[in-house]
Amino acid sequence: MEANLRWVLLTAVAPVAWGANYYVTREFLPADRPLWGAALRALPAGLLLLALGRRRPHGAWWWRSAVLGLLNTGVFFVLLYVASQLLATSVASTVMAASPLAMMLMAWALAAERPARAHLAGAVVGLGGVALMLLTRAGAVSLPGLAASVAAMLVSSCGYVLAGRWRDGADALASTSWQLTAGGLVLLPAAAALEGAPPVPGPTALLAFGYVTLVATALAFAVWFAGLRHLPAGTVGLLGLLNPLTGVLLGTAVAGEELGPTPTAGSSTRQTGASARSSRKSPYGTPSAYVPGRKIRFTRA
């Protein structure tokens, strides 16, 4: 029991770091470079963990690393970057509150891991919080951003379940480094071909990239995949509710976003779901979603 609690607390670091990542990406990183943003997040973190672990893939881990790197890094990071730029921080993170249910269903389908009733109830309540948040929000929500966020949730849920299932022959640090490196190597030529030269960040953006790479990626993914090896998928999935909770708190308290007429109801619903476990410019041709108190940022021509 005590060992499980330690793993729960350690794994919880990841969704908190990811919740803050929405705010950092939206406020401080270039909005028109999603491929470079994802590549500069993945590859340095992967190489850092690779240097620390000093292990290369072997046997089946060559193709496993490619598959997991594509799902958990390549596709996921790009979709998440787009969602972070097109949606308000509170909205982008709140959509991910549906990930526990998606992850449980994926685990059931791919690994025959039947979800516990308490886990399933908590996930459904968390999903209700998402619906309440979106339906009562003041102002329009970007549909491309919403689609990117949902797609990111589904892709990552599939990847996380496979990562939890493929645990033989590699520790969490090694497998995480292989995934991030593989995903980064896929993103690098795509970014160069489609977006040209990499962005030259100023001091603030450089600090933001440092947080995204070291904390929200290297540290967060290492502890997350370690948690997937020691905890049921349902438990890990519900810990993911800390992601939207952190995003909503930062979006409202720091970025000055407004949730809508009934913000308390949506936030409390997501918190209830978690409790059940224990018992800039857009490249898409439209302005970013309006957020009270912030200037509207228009797209490039």
Q: What is the pLDDT of residue 133?
A: 61
Rg of the chain on CA atoms, in Å? 18
Say yes or no to pLDDT of 289 above 60: no
Query: Any idea what the Cα angle at residue 291 is, between residues 286 and 293, rounded to 5°?
Result: 130
Per residue in 232-269, pLDDT (tens digit) is 877 877 787 788 788 878 877 776 766 555 444 444 44
Per residue in 36-83, pLDDT (tens digit) is 999 999 999 999 999 998 899 999 999 999 999 999 999 999 999 998
**Residues whose CB falls within 8 Å of the CB of residue 226, separated by 6 or more in sequence, listed in order:** 7, 10, 11, 172, 173
Q: Which residue has the higher pLDDT, 186 or 5?
A: 186
Q: What is the mean pLDDT of residues 272-288?
A: 41
Helical H segments across 54-98, by residue range: 61-69, 76-86, 89-95
Q: What is the pLDDT of residue 136?
A: 56
Phi, psi dihedrals of residue 201, rounded to the nearest 5°: -75, 145
- Least confident interval from 4-8, 44-48, 133-137, 174-178: 133-137
Q: What is the pLDDT of residue 290?
A: 30
Q: What is the pLDDT of residue 281?
A: 42
Say yes or no to pLDDT of 103 above 80: no
Measured between alpha carbons, how far is 216 from 3 in angstroms, rounded to an integer?
Answer: 24
Taking alpha carbons only, the member of 4, 9, 1 closest to residue 223 is 9
C-beta neighbour count of 278 within 10 angstroms = 10
| Most trustworthy range by pLDDT among 91-105, 132-146, 217-231 | 217-231
Question: Residue type at 295?
Answer: K
| Most trustworthy range by pLDDT among 19-33, 142-156, 164-178, 204-218 | 204-218
Q: What is the mean pLDDT of residues 272-300?
A: 38
For residue 181 the two structure tokens come to 């490196």
Q: Which residue has the higher pLDDT, 291 or 138?
A: 138
Question: Residue type at 255?
Answer: A
Say yes or no to pLDDT of 143 above 50: yes
Q: Is the dihedral of CA 48, 53, 58, 61 positive or negative?
A: negative
DSSP string computed for 105-123: HHHHHHH--PPPHHHHHHH
DSSP string computed for 167-235: -TTS-HHHHHHHHHHHHHHHHHHHHHHHH-SPP---HHHHHHHHIIIIIIIIIHHHHHHHHHHHS-HHH
Measured between alpha carbons, how far is 228 from 103 in angstroms, rounded to an integer?
Answer: 11
Q: What is the pLDDT of residue 201?
A: 86
Q: How distant is the alpha carbon of residue 241 from its chain centre?
A: 11
For residue 175 the two structure tokens come to 């497998």
Q: What is the pLDDT of residue 272?
A: 47
Per residue in 8-48, pLDDT (tens digit) is 999 999 999 988 998 898 889 988 899 999 999 999 999 99
